[in-house]
Chains A and B, each alone.
Chain A
């Protein structure tokens, strides 16, 4: 691999890695607050991709209840992404109300919530299939008006990037930036951190923990929906199971970065994105294994993940 190609692959990896990061942050936020993995997150990722598709006014295919239907209006892609994210956030809220809160209020074992979220994931995937069939969809003319590739090279060294990857990277970074602002510079963000560290003390300060948990699920769903749309943009929406393999990779990022660590999810996402991009083309069939190979190696040396805290027993 020559140096120019190497750089190109690193930059490609950064773009995909940034999507891994925002997707994994959806797991991370919920984990940091409730200490559980929300398996429904990968289904929300898929839903977000379809929401955006529908909001663009695109028509569904030949199978399913919604066959050959389309919304009477179509939003331009940037607005549709935002709308898809917001709707996915709303789904996150529904998942919390339906699958998590009732169990939490009964003081159920966290393992039950995990199983419950897995049930929601399966149900959502089936509902998608029922509604729009198993066909692949791609966003019609999403980036119309932009050239297919952009040269980001400096001087005489070309660095040709697919435009779609540049767009993905920019959107992911904007979302990351907004999330950091929210967490570190707003009252709600500080309150979220308080609930994550010690929910009882947070209640004693007058924080309505249920409302903040709901907010967390909304943000998580929003991140998942945006990530789903961006991946759908870069490849296609491959069908109702779109989010499942991606979901596994998101879990790898979550564990690699350190469970519940926000900077960890970002670093882990970018790292896995870059390493995958550097897998030589003749080995690309093993790409999916790469994330997990990295994960196993890192966990061997750092069981708490790259930026995770060692767990301190709460009394």
Chain B
């Protein structure tokens, strides 16, 4: 097996007295889509927040590309090549669509490259192109999710963390977004996908982990997971 790009070992995180993660270990290899499944409150978002370094970690190690992430600031994580699309989209509502995208490229300084990527984004996401100068807060939920993903891509990440990209969106939009996710992966982006919609996640990913109350209880290929009784009962029933 190749050495993983993302290697998390024995990660524990607490919010005050709430133990959100307890000795979580997971790996993601280059080119994979790995999904993290689990019920509400299992600790999926917390795992992504720990990788992005926007919350403190109690113990454990986080390595990306052989580098220790645990000592980095959040902005250094982005510079290292990891982009995080947070839960609930979190576009900057008072800035225009274009400004949101430009801020996605904040860590880059190659002006020409940024301009190219911006135009490419607008060709790929037609609806964002039509709303280029509009405030992001005026977009629909689906458009905001597209913007949040497109904005993350503006940093040219090698690893993309997606937190519940389907949340609260109409099925047709969800299909569109998952098609984009598969395209991105086909183009070489490694993806760690958090989803509550287990069926969709298992169809999209190559491997998966199941998180329950802050601990990994199952892991394997998506085919194995889909066939597992416990997964069937708890997440696909």
Contacts and interface: CB of A to CB of B under 8 A. Distances in A.
A315 B45 CA distance: 15
B92 A197 contact: yes
Nearest to B95: A193
A162 interface: no
A187 B84 contact: no
A161 to B, nearest CB: 38
B75 A207 contact: yes
A198 B75 contact: no
A198 B79 contact: no
A207 B103 contact: yes
A315 B86 CA distance: 13
Interface in B165-187: none
A132 B145 CA distance: 59
A204 B103 contact: no
Chain B interface category by residue count: 20 to 34
Given A190-B102, A191-B103, A194-B103, A203 B75 contact: yes
A206 B79 contact: yes
Contacts of A193: 92, 94-95
Contacts of B54: 200, 203-204
Contact of B103 (A190, A208, A209, A315): A190
Interface in B153-207: 155
A206 B102 CA distance: 12
Interface in B12-36: none
Given A190-B102, A191-B106, A194-B103, A204 B92 contact: no
B44 interface: no
Contacts of A198: 90, 92
A205 interface: yes
A194 B79 CA distance: 18
B151 A205 contact: yes
Interface centre among A187, A197, A200, A204 (most CB of B within 10 A): A204
B106 A206 contact: yes
A288 B75 CA distance: 46
Given A187-B106, A194-B103, A203 B74 contact: yes
Interface string A170-205: 000000000000000001001101100110111111
Interface string A101-140: 0000000000000000000000000000000000000000
B94 A205 contact: no
Contact of A204 (B52, B88, B93): B52
A207 B73 CA distance: 10
A198 B83 CA distance: 17
Interface string B82-110: 01101010101111000100111011000
Interface in A201-252: 201-209
B95 A190 contact: yes
B78 interface: yes
Contact of B78 (A187, A200, A204): A204
Nearest to B89: A201
Nearest to B93: A197
Contacts of A187: 102, 106
Contact of A205 (B73, B88, B155): B155
Given A190-B99, A200-B54, A201-B86, A206 B75 contact: yes
Contacts of B93: 197
Nearest to A207: B106
Contacts of A203: 52, 54, 73-75
B152 to A, nearest CB: 8
A73 to B, nearest CB: 38
Given A198-B90, A200-B54, A205 B106 contact: yes
Contacts of B83: 204
A33 B88 CA distance: 22
Contacts of A205: 78, 103-104, 106-107, 151, 155
B111 to A, nearest CB: 10
A206 B156 CA distance: 12
Interface in B125-160: 151, 155
Contacts of A200: 54, 86, 90
Given A194-B103, A205-B155, 14 more contacts: A187-B102, A197-B93, A197-B94, A200-B54, A200-B90, A201-B92, A203-B54, A203-B73, A204-B78, A204-B84, A205-B104, A206-B74, A206-B79, A207-B106
5 contacts: A190-B99, A194-B95, A201-B86, A205-B107, A207-B106
Closest 7 CB pairs of A and B: A206-B78, A206-B107, A203-B74, A201-B90, A208-B75, A206-B75, A206-B106
